[in-house]
Amino acid sequence: MDKYEILKRYFGYDTFREGQELLTDCILNGRDVLGIMPTGAGKSICYQVPALLFPGITLVISPLISLMKDQVQSLNHAGIHAAYINSSLTENQIAKALQYAAEGRYKIIYVAPERLETASFLWFVQRVEISMVAVDEAHCISQWGQDFRPSYLKIVRFVEQLPVRPVLSAFTATATGAVKEDIICVLGLRDPEILVTGFDRKNLYFGVETPRRRDEFVADYVRGHSGESGIVYCSTRKNVEQVHEMLCGMGIPAARYHAGLSAEERKSSQDAFIYDVKPVIVATNAFGMGIDKSNVRYVLHYNMPQSMENYYQEAGRAGRDGEPSECILLYSPQDIMVNRFLIENKEQREDSFDEAQLQAIRERDEERLRVMSFYCSTTDCLRDYILKYFGEYGGGDCGNCSNCSGEFEDVDMSEEAAVIVRCIRELGGRYGINVVAGTLTGAQTAKLREYNVKRFASFGTLSRRRETEIKKMIQKLLQDGVLAQTADKYALLRLAPLAKEVEDGRRRVIMRVPSRARASVASDGRKSAQGQASQGRSRKGRRSDVLNSQGLECFEALRALRTELAREESLPPYIVFSDKTLVDMCVRLPFTREEMLQVSGVGEHKYEKYGERFISRIKEFTGGVKGKYYFG
């Protein structure tokens, strides 16, 4: 078999994704590799395909017990013999697994780094051929990273003890220069092929919303996406409890997760979520490491996280299957204060830092927080902002974020316009846009103090607005000829004749604003943007763009079957088939084995297990006629 046959037969995919083929080839040629790829890019295929073509065994070193279990389950379901060895097994189970491993029963073995130096493990590896050691989450080896794990340093000595040096492959989603250098150096990669694929997650929609009531927003959103799986991140346990209670009160099956719960409670919450018993989970950032659930359709942030790194990691848990998914951050300026407080009171895990180091860490955290808060207020493309932060060039307007989704909304701004006109009249036309906007928001800058604008009655009359919003309104009034500017370098704001009509309400001022800004621009009692965002209409490439209403019904029927099968086997549903695979079934409507094997994600082994039942459900649904189209 060649690599393409392996990909098709076991994983059900026709083609490799960007980067996967290159890394697979290098590994098969015996060359070390370092793959830096974002979550969901498909790192595991890069080592699993070569593992099946190598004569010997592949060891995969992974820090996360839950992830190992998940991966091994998936592999077994694809018909690949794999096992894991970590502290969740008893000594007896480990002994047995190693015995089987020594007999060559497994092609791929996942192992926790702590195990590598145990006598029994060393006994086993002396007896077999180890073709490759794949290091997952390789950034854990770097002391520069956030997740440094001292046990990862054991990998180096372990590899040295092997009779023959295997191919080393390392994978991570963290790409800063220092971490990359550390991985290469500390792991001792030999002339590695280094592949960095783009950090862009094209299937994710990014949004920032500033709703007046976050609870309502979450309630509407979750209701509008019922049946879909989602994560709601909150910054405090208290918020988790509140939001969780609210959702449960609405009859939505939701789980909760935070460090204040017992280990059993956390485990059962996590399982309920993974097995789609409770498709929604409300959690602090303690949740998510090692969660590989591929069909998470949305990640809402109830509060602003502390850094872009955190945000992108948490939001990135949406849409690992490549299907359209949404990441929406609910922002309120108060979040900055809360986060600043959290930073100042952060417990340092290692007490070995001296005061100067602690100060440096605090400054770094402050800077990260600043960058994060700019994300929440920028009017530029959000995807661009993220990619630039991670050192890539974005492509300008992505058309799939709340700042450039092209959804606009007409909002009546007549009252605000009248307030602006009155302010300019009061200031006697002696100031430019910055002073006018600053006066209206009641800003406390040195310059405004110097001008003593506090004495004006207009001071702070639009304090509930952001300065940028007021400036936009002023721009609009300039465009409409309500205001004028002096042509000198001072560009002083003056009233045009039309201003009188605005001031006494004879002339309405309607502004076209991007619909996300609507929530904040129209924040006093008028209808907000929540409804629209929560319906998620007209997002690029949503499932509902691919499937028409018939197709969506078909999808639901197949999803129900998937749940049934998963329950029978106590498996997470996404291990049976991903959402993406189900969508492809609805598009192709396979009636035969051959047709079913064309579906993305259906390999031979899975066909044997589930193929017939899905075919018969599809036949049932369509009445056995393919004439009708389910997509469009």
Site residues (CB under 5 A) for Zn ion? Answer: 381, 383, 398, 401, 404
**Shortest separation between residue 28's beta carbon and ligand ADP, angstroms:** 16
372 binds ligand ADP (CB under 6 A): no
85 binds, among ligand ADP, Zn ion, none (CB under 5 to 8 A by kind): none
Of ligand ADP, Zn ion, none, which one does residue 16 interact with (CB within 5 to 8 Å by kind)? Answer: ligand ADP
Which residue, 204 or 435, has its beta carbon nearer to Zn ion? 204
Q: Are strands 510-514 and 408-412 parallel, antiparallel or unpaired?
A: antiparallel
44 binds, among Zn ion, ligand ADP, none (CB under 5 to 8 A by kind): ligand ADP
Among 19, 24, 34, 39, binds ligand ADP (CB under 6 A): 39
Q: Which residues pair with 36 in a beta bridge?
A: 172, 196
Residue 60 engages ligand ADP in binding (rule: CB under 6 A): no
The interface partner of residue 381, options being Zn ion, ligand ADP, none and the CB cut-off 5 to 8 Å by kind, is Zn ion
Q: Residue 404's binding partner, choosing from ligand ADP, Zn ion, none, with beta-carbon cut-off 5 to 8 A by kind? A: Zn ion
The CA-to-CA distance between both ends of the chain, in Å, stands at 37
Q: Which range, of 12-20, 80-88, 276-284, 298-306, touches ligand ADP by CB under 6 A?
A: 12-20
Going by their DSSP bridges, the two strands 325-330 and 296-301 should be labelled as parallel
Out of ligand ADP, Zn ion, none, which partner does residue 401 contact, by CB within 5 to 8 A per kind? Zn ion
- Specify the residue, 45 or 474, whose C-beta has the smaller distance to ligand ADP: 45
Q: Read out DSSP for 126-194?
A: HHS-EEEEEETTGGGG-TTSTT--GGGGHHHHHHHHSSSPPEEEEEES---HHHHHHHHHHHT-SS-EE
**C-alpha to C-alpha distance for 276 and 230, rounded to whole angstroms:** 10
The residue from 23, 26, 37, 583 that contacts ligand ADP (CB under 6 A) is 37
Where b means 16+ CB within 10 Å and e means fewer, 151-169 reads bbbbbeebbeeeeeebbbb
Q: Do 423 and 436 contact (CB within 8 A), yes or no? A: yes
Nearest to 470 by CA among 461, 403, 401: 461
| Residue 45 near ligand ADP by CB under 6 A | yes
User: HEC states along 194-241?
Assistant: EEECCCCCCCEEEEEECCCCHHHHHHHHHHHCCCCEEEEECCCHHHHH
The span from the CA of 30 to the CA of 309, in Å, is 34
Distance of CA 405 to CAs 52, 208, 516, 547, 578, Å? 43, 12, 9, 21, 27
Query: Exposed (0-12), middle (13-18) or buried (19+): which is 48, by Cβ within 10 Å?
Result: buried
Give, as ranges, the residues between 309 and 338 that touch ligand ADP (CB under 6 A).
320-322
d(CA 577, CA 583): 10
Report if residue 201 touches ligand ADP, rule: CB under 6 A: no
Closer to Zn ion by Cβ: residue 43 or 383: 383
Interaction pattern, residues 439-468, with ligand ADP; x per rule: CB under 6 A: ------------------------------
43 binding ligand ADP? (CB under 6 A):
yes
With respect to ligand ADP, which residue has the nearer C-beta, 368 or 562? 562
Nearer to ligand ADP, 62 or 239 (CB): 62
Rounded Cα distance between 417 and 19, Å, is 53
List the beta bridge partners of residue 233: 283, 301
With respect to ligand ADP, which residue has the nearer C-beta, 43 or 214?
Answer: 43
Site string for ligand ADP, 584-623 (x = CB under 6 A): ----------------x-----------------------
Q: Which is nearer to ligand ADP, 40 or 166 (CB)?
A: 40
- Min dist. Cβ of residue 302 to ligand ADP (A): 24
Residue 40 binding ligand ADP, by CB under 6 A: yes
Q: 480-485 long-range contacts, Cβ below 8 Å, gap at least 24? A: 480/509, 482/417, 482/421, 482/507, 482/509, 483/420, 483/421, 483/424, 485/432
Judged by CB, which is closer to ligand ADP: 16, or 607?
Answer: 16
Q: Which does 398 bind (CB under 5 to 8 A by kind): Zn ion, ligand ADP, none?
A: Zn ion
Q: Which of 329, 336, 358, 381 is nearest to 514 (CA)?
A: 381
Residue 284 in contact with ligand ADP, rule: CB under 6 A: no
CA angle 469, 471, 472 (to 5 degrees): 65
Nearest to ligand ADP of 39, 86 (CB atom) = 39
Q: Whole-number minimum distance, CB 78 to ligand ADP, in Å?
A: 10
520 lies in the binding site for ligand ADP (CB under 6 A): no
Asked if 240 and 258 touch (Cβ cutoff 8 Å), the reply is: yes
Q: How many CB atoms lie within 10 A of CB 130?
A: 21
66 binds ligand ADP (CB under 6 A): no
Provide the residue type at 369 as one letter.
L
Which of 6, 26, 42, 139 is close enough to bind ligand ADP by CB under 6 A?
A: 42
Among 578, 584, 610, 615, interactor with ligand ADP by CB under 6 A: 578
Query: Least CB distance from residue 364 to Zn ion, whole Å?
Result: 28
Which one of Zn ion, ligand ADP, none interacts with residue 66, CB within 5 to 8 A by kind?
A: none
**Of all residues in this chain, which one has the CB nearest to ligand ADP in the complex?**
42
Shortest Cβ distance from residue 361 to ligand ADP (Å)? 29
Burial level of 494, CB count in 10 A (0-12/13-18/19+)?
Answer: middle
Encoded tokens for 334:
């108060």
Tokens at residue 428, please?
């006697």
Name which of ligand ADP, Zn ion, none residue 343 binds, using a CB cut-off of 5 to 8 Å depending on partner kind. none
Query: Is 402 or 530 the residue whose CB approaches Zn ion more closely?
Result: 402
Nearer to Zn ion, 282 or 327 (CB): 327
With both helix axes pointing from N to C terminus, report the angle between 154-161 and 177-187 in degrees, rounded to the nearest 10. Answer: 30
Q: How far is the CB of 318 from ligand ADP (least distance, A)?
A: 12
Beta strand segments in 204-360, E: 204-209, 229-233, 254-257, 280-283, 296-301, 325-330
The residues binding ligand ADP (CB under 6 A) are 13, 16-17, 20, 37, 39-45, 292, 294, 320-322, 578, 600
